[in-house]
Amino acid sequence: MDRTASDLSTPADPAPAAATAPTATPAPADATPPDPTVPTAPAPRGDSVAPDAPPPPKDGAEPVPPAPSAQEYVAVQQSPEFAELRAAHRSFAFPLTVAFIAWYLGYVLLSNYAGGFMGTKLFGNINVAFVLGLAQFLTTFLIAWWYARHAAAKLDPRAEAIKSRMEGGA
């Protein structure tokens, strides 16, 4: 079977029609437009659903109590219990944040200005910079674990007490 140059530019076996991508079929010229009286759903915009709204009560179900008013929120915010909750959070989070930022900036500054020290080999190809870099990750996970313990022990019980008092109207 001799093939010419023009035969080589086209495949010998064209791909079957089922394997090709479907093409849009043009609408016939005499097609009727959609009926404007038939309601269609609006295009979803993402802001048309209120995810925080409680579902409506079912027949015979107890109605959902109303949400606390703005004055109730202000009163809780000014309460001594809320001040204790805020102080417990701040006394933990702020000093730890400052310490971690100082530790991180110290690492960056050492990397930039103390190249000889950071390049000191500890064993094999492991140097001071590598060990301190891994310590950054370890510190991040330790702080997250420590905060989770602190929140569970000190913050969550206080916040739950405030929340239940607000929801209960007591």
pLDDT per position as a tens digit, 108-118: 999 999 999 99
Dig out the tokens for 118 from the structure.
């950071």
**CA geometry: angle 135, 138, 141, nearest 5 deg:** 150
Which has more confidence, 35 or 50?
A: 35
Q: Which residue has the tokens 């702020």?
A: 94
The arithmetic mean of pLDDT across residues 76-95, rounded, is: 94
Does residue 44 form part of some domain? no
Burial class (CB in 10 A: 0-12, 13-18, 19+), 139: middle
pLDDT, one tens digit per residue, over 125-139 is: 999 999 999 999 999
The arithmetic mean of pLDDT across residues 30-44, rounded, is: 62
Does residue 132 form part of some domain? yes
For residue 69, name the pLDDT band (cuts at 50, 70, 90): confident
State how many domains the chain has: 1
Does residue 156 form part of some domain? yes
**Domain housing 158:** 70-168
Does residue 34 form part of some domain? no
What is the distance between the alpha carbons of residues 113 and 119, in angstroms, rounded to a whole number?
A: 11
Within 10 Å of residue 85's Cβ, how many Cβ atoms?
A: 19
Does residue 65 form part of some domain? no
